[in-house]
Amino acid sequence: VKNLVEKLIVLFNYDVSNAWYPVLQKAIEVGSTFEGWSPHEEDITYHLLVCLKPPDGHIFQLEPGPEWPMRNFHIHLEFMCTCERERLTGETRCFLHDPKEDQSRKECPNILQDLCTDSYLDVQKIAEWFQKTVKRFWKDLPESATHRLMVLPSKRSCKFQVTQGCKKSLLIELLFGVQEGDSDIFVSSQNTEAAYTPSTMWLESYAVAEMKFFSYIALQAQPDSCHLRCLQLCVRSLLGRDFSTYTLKTVVMHLLTTLPLSDWHKDSFMQRLQDITQYLQSCLKQKCLYHFFIGNANLPEEIILPQELRMAGPLNIFQHLEHDLDAHEEARLDFLML
């Protein structure tokens, strides 16, 4: 999957080298499949986050939107002055101060006209662009000789299925993101729980930080560590229920930083399962489960957060249970099922 996506990105970037389109960075494997605890033994989806960099002479300015359960942003496309670079290198002319260069940009395929709405990056336009381009490039890949491609409908991502003959299909989903500074946090095109999400709304994503955390644990833990198996079993037990998979993931991440990693060897499997359920039961009783990355003093130094998140206090992701008695009762019943 990774090799296939990397080939597509090379073709994407070559195709837009003479246009004013985003530059695609190396895709980052995220989510349960790449972290090693996917609850689905069949029909797993391979999620990858493709980071977008602005074309030359442009910048992405993140503008915070209204607070939902998590932070969300609009990504404003702005022009930057490149006069100094032109003076030093002679390679780039400035859109802001060179009318001929600005006119030349307008006459070429460009990000502002094709991928934005009112100067803001539009998730749905980017998704449609990716889907069309994947279809167009498929014939140029060696895999096309032995595999079939089917692009699946999606408004905020690029989903496609790759099948070799009668063998099992691979389901791949490419999400798009813009990095917050030099941190491990991105604003991404991931779906929201809201009934309607504006196409210019991007949600803050911790998927890369989570992948980095589980990689860090894998390096520190014993080879027979059972932490992924514990998480997989707990999540699989709740498939089809309304209880959030992310809740159980958050509990396990907290326990991985509060219990010695030597306590997660396979002989302690049942005890660790008990720790997970007891921790979750306590959180439900107190209606308080803190976000793993925001305001967490136990967060490994390897995880890089934006300044405002490093300075933030703890965030209770169970806060809604304090005001919604029905949601609290539903969570309690789901816990009993677990």
**Lowest-pLDDT range, 83-97, 187-201, 259-273?**
83-97
- Which one-letter DSSP state was computed for residue 194? S
Cα 123 to Cα 192: distance, rounded to the nearest angstrom: 12
DSSP string for residues in 17-80: TTTB-PEE---EEESHHHHT--S-SSS-EEEEEEEEEPPTTEEEEEEE----SS-EEEEEEEE-
Using a pLDDT cut of 70, give the percent of the chain over it: 90
* Torsion angles phi and psi, residue 254, rounded to 5: -60, -45
Mean pLDDT of 297-317: 92
The C-alpha R_g of the chain, in whole angstroms, comes to 22
Alpha carbons 201 and 205: distance in angstroms, whole number: 13
State the pLDDT at residue 199.
Answer: 94
pLDDT higher than 60, residue 187: yes
State mean pLDDT over 302-320. 92
Cβ atoms 56, 77 nearer than 8 A: no
pLDDT score of 232: 95
pLDDT at 69 over 70: no
**For 164, which DSSP code?**
-
Strand locations in the chain (E): 23-24, 28-30, 45-53, 58-64, 72-79, 116-117, 120-121, 148-152, 158-163, 170-179, 186-188, 202-205
Predicted local distance difference test score (pLDDT) of residue 93: 65
Q: What local confidence, expressed as pLDDT, does residue 200 receive?
A: 95
* Fold classified for 1-206: Beta Polymerase; domain 2 (3.30.460)
The model's pLDDT over 223-241, given as tens digits with 9 standing for 90+, comes to: 999 999 999 999 998 877 7
Res 260 pLDDT > 70: yes
Encode pLDDT of 133-165 as tens digits: 999 999 999 999 999 999 999 999 999 999 988
> Do the beta carbons of residue 72 and residue 204 sit within 8 Å?
yes
Contact 204, 182 (CB under 8 A): no
Residue 278's pLDDT band, with cuts at 50, 70 and 90, is very high
CA distances from 135 to 90, 154, 183, 305 (A): 38, 14, 33, 36
User: For residue 65, what pLDDT is reported?
Assistant: 84
Tens of pLDDT, residues 206-219: 999 999 999 999 99
Per the DSSP assignment, residues forming a β-bridge with 49 are 28, 175
d(CA 67, CA 208): 21
Ramachandran angles phi, psi of 188, nearest 5°: -130, 170
pTM for the whole structure: 0.90
Closest of 55, 60, 59, 56 to residue 75, by C-alpha? 60
Predicted confidence (pLDDT) per residue in 71-123, tens digit: 899 999 998 877 766 555 655 666 665 666 555 556 566 888 999 999 999 99
The chain-wide mean pLDDT, for the chain, equals 89
pLDDT at 110: 83
* Spans of all domains in the chain: 1-206, 221-336
> Is residue 23's pLDDT more than 70?
yes
Of all residues in the chain, what percent carry a pLDDT higher than 90?
Answer: 69
Class at the top of the CATH hierarchy for domain 221-336: mainly alpha
Looking at residue 264, its pLDDT comes to 97
pLDDT of residue 17: 80
Cα separations in angstroms, 261 against 20, 151, 223: 48, 42, 11
pLDDT at 191: 82
